[in-house]
Structure 1
């Protein structure tokens, strides 16, 4: 009798676990990384099965006093949160600045650009002289370091020089290897771009 009761409890526990996974899974957007055409550009499929589960776009519980529409960047854990309200946020995996290029503070989205031109700053050209050929700007495209979208961060001093942007380097998500900008997978930056308004507050922790 005790064995039968244990079997019933085990079955109920398994059923609950499966139901819970199903509920969570419906809020993880693993199927949104396929090939797509955007503004005439053909974005390739991201092999999302190679990206750690935690870095895939998903709705999560998030307790904050910041108002909906705010973006909070957790550089330590490599997450970007778009505050949705009601204790929830859309979470994206990100790549952040490598050692010596980290930063934190509060800024706002001053400009948004689809398929932006990339112009390396002078300091970057000094470090990497081969980039001098792009001093006048690199045309938009699949190889452009800013990817499919860019949002420009300004603070009280004006243009901070930092961006939230897409990247063709999906395997850099979860790592610290940028020059300070916050990078997302192209399919994720398109999603975030559509949710974000000019003037939105951005907090980098």
Structure 2
């Protein structure tokens, strides 16, 4: 009986250890949430999340703001995006932002949402990168598409701003300033945000 009891204790300890290994001790988020998945027929590759700095991994944090729940606040300085939950809490995501000369700040709203969106490079981008001319009519959605798995389109009083909150297959760009002005997120994170944020949601970029 003693041996059996010992085996049970050891087994429980091992199970607890394994469970702990599957959860980020810093953020409390399951590593599995950044694993590979199939979405709308497309394969979303796993992200080696331990290679992403902990401050850029999705987590619920204390966040004091006068903005209402459901608002998206983008802090380009710290490279964080907050989805306001209320009660002094928010879901925080790591983001990539516009490189020097391509920054944008202001207040907008989510005018539309798309899953696996088509990406059409603007004329100014094609002039800078002529090799993109082949996508003048739009690059079909898919794992290699620049907009990733989801896109939230930002509108203001004048209409479509041309800026997006979108996914990216380039997870290593999170925490850096290297986009053409849009806010990029890891695909697994933008899928999470997409499910939370509604069309019409206020977006504050500062």
- With the shorter chain as reference, the TM-score category is 0.7 to 0.9
* Residue 135 (structure 2) aligns with: 134
* Residue 110 (structure 1) aligns with: 111
* Displacement after TM superposition at 1:29 (Å): 4.3
Change (3 A) 1:29 1:78: farther
* Residue 58 (structure 2) aligns with: 57
Q: Are the equivalent residues in 1 in contact too, given 2:73–2:204 (CA < 8 A)?
A: yes
What are the superposed Cα offsets for residues 38-59 of structure 1, whole Å, 9 maximum, x if unpaired? 0000111100010000100000
Q: Are the equivalent residues in 1 in contact too, given 2:38–2:44 (CA < 8 A)?
A: yes
**Does 1:124 find its partner at 2:125?**
yes
Change (3 A) 1:122 1:190: same
Change (3 A) 1:129 1:73: same
* Displacement after TM superposition at 1:30 (Å): 3.6
CA separation in 2, counterparts of 1:26 and 1:180?
A: 28
Q: Any idea what SS the aligned residue of 1:101 has?
A: coil
* Residue 85 (structure 1) aligns with: 86
CA separation in 2, counterparts of 1:47 and 1:99?
A: 28
Unaligned runs of 5+ in 2: 1-22
* Residue 9 (structure 1) aligns with: none
CA separation in 1, counterparts of 2:29 and 2:37?
A: 19
What are the superposed Cα offsets for residues 60-97 of structure 1, whole Å, 9 maximum, x if unpaired? 00000100000000001000000001000000000000
* Displacement after TM superposition at 1:23 (Å): 11
TM-score by length of 2: 0.87
Q: Any idea what SS the aligned residue of 1:192 has?
A: helix
Unaligned runs of 5+ in 1: 1-21
Q: Which runs of 4+ in 1 moved over 6 A?
A: none
* Displacement after TM superposition at 1:28 (Å): 3.1
* Displacement after TM superposition at 1:153 (Å): 0.2
Q: Are the equivalent residues in 1 in contact too, given 2:24–2:30 (CA < 8 A)?
A: no
* Displacement after TM superposition at 1:27 (Å): 3.6
* Displacement after TM superposition at 1:156 (Å): 1.2
Q: Any idea what SS the aligned residue of 1:111 has?
A: strand
Q: Are the equivalent residues in 2 in contact too, given 1:29–1:57 (CA < 8 A)?
A: no
Q: Any idea what SS the aligned residue of 2:101 has?
A: coil
